[in-house]
Amino acid sequence: MSLTARLPRPIQLLMIGLGTLSLTGWFRLWQALVFWRELAAVELRPGPAYLAASGAALGILGAAAAWRLAKRRAGAPSFVRLVVLGAALLYWAERLLFTRSAGGYANLPFSIMLTVLALVYTFTALAWWQRRGFHPSLRIENEHR
């Protein structure tokens, strides 16, 4: 039986999203390493080292969040919330600070909507999990009074 077989569907979907975040980070690291010379030659700012470091961070944090959620570790929901919020903030900080062409803002409404949807889903799914008591560390303290 797999780790996720006993998890509710909303949490399984959240784990798929965290896995996607992790893979995106690892691909970013790989691309930064493979094209290091080309990125350095065009003097890309913030540079290939930043791309590699942020890719590794996203890869590690996304995988750790999904693993902690699957294993129902204490504090996993709080960790997942921090990782998802941090990834959203990193995305928007990079987009606003490093985009130099007007074409970089072409899909701005879609990006805003997708970010809001991801954050709302994450926080809602974890709150639902808490209300249902599927995770022992998430029980509301005053629930039984």
Q: Please check whether residue 84 is in contact with residue 119, taking contact to mean a CB–CB distance below 8 angstroms.
A: yes
The overall average pLDDT reported for the chain is 87
How much of the chain, in percent, has pLDDT values that exceed 90? 59
Interatomic CA distance for residues 6 and 11, integer angstroms:
10
Indicate the DSSP class of residue 3. Answer: T
CA distance from start to end of the chain: 37
Given pLDDT bands bounded at 50, 70 and 90, which one contains residue 120? very high
Whole-model pTM? Answer: 0.83
127: Cα separation from own chain's centroid: 17
The tens digit of pLDDT for each residue in 32-84 reads 999 999 999 988 788 899 999 999 999 999 999 999 999 888 889 999 999 99
Q: Please say if the pLDDT value at position 106 is more than 60.
A: yes
- Give the pLDDT of residue 86: 96
Q: Please say if the pLDDT value at position 4 is more than 70.
A: no
- Give the pLDDT of residue 35: 94
Can you list the alpha helix ranges (DSSP code H) found in 35-107?
A: 36-41, 48-70, 76-98
